[in-house]
Amino acid sequence: MPAPKPEQHISLDHAVEPDAARLASASDTFRMLSDPTRLHILWLLSQGPADVTALTAASSASRTAVSQHLAKLRFSGMVDTRKEGRNVIYSLPDGHLARLVREGLNLADHKVTGEPPHA
């Protein structure tokens, strides 16, 4: 399949029957999302890049816990890093993960508030 031209939009829907590799990869992703602190960190990063200090201030977790979760997320490929001076800046590698995190929390909002589901 040829690479899309810059003016073409890349599909957000990959309508492929899931094989064993895709199911395993998705399960690994959901496993990483199953921890409330990691999910909160990913939600914060879906708002924009941040360093450990900003993520610690915005979450209820300790700096040590945030650092440990970021290490797991980095190892799993769920966050990217770049250096800015002495700081390491964390970000999400693509929009799929940001959308997944936001949709999971939107679903949770419906369940917590009792708002009826919608299509």
Residue 1: predicted pLDDT: 46
Between 19 and 1, where is the model more confident? 19
pLDDT in tens, 32-58: 999 999 999 999 999 999 999 999 999
Mean pLDDT rounded to a whole number for the chain: 90
- Per-residue model confidence as pLDDT tens digits over 96-117: 999 999 999 999 999 999 988 8
Predicted local confidence at residue 116, as pLDDT: 87
Residue 91 half-sphere exposure toward CB, CA atoms < 13 A: 11
Where do the domains of the chain lie, and which CATH numbers do they carry? Answer: 28-35+49-113 (1.10.10.10)
Q: Which residues have a Cβ under 8 Å from the Cβ of 91 and sit 6 or more positions away?
A: 45, 48, 49, 79, 80, 81, 82
Residue 74 burial (10 A CB sphere; 0-12, 13-18, 19+): middle
CA distances, 20 to each of 11, 15, 24, 25, 100 (Å): 22, 15, 6, 9, 20
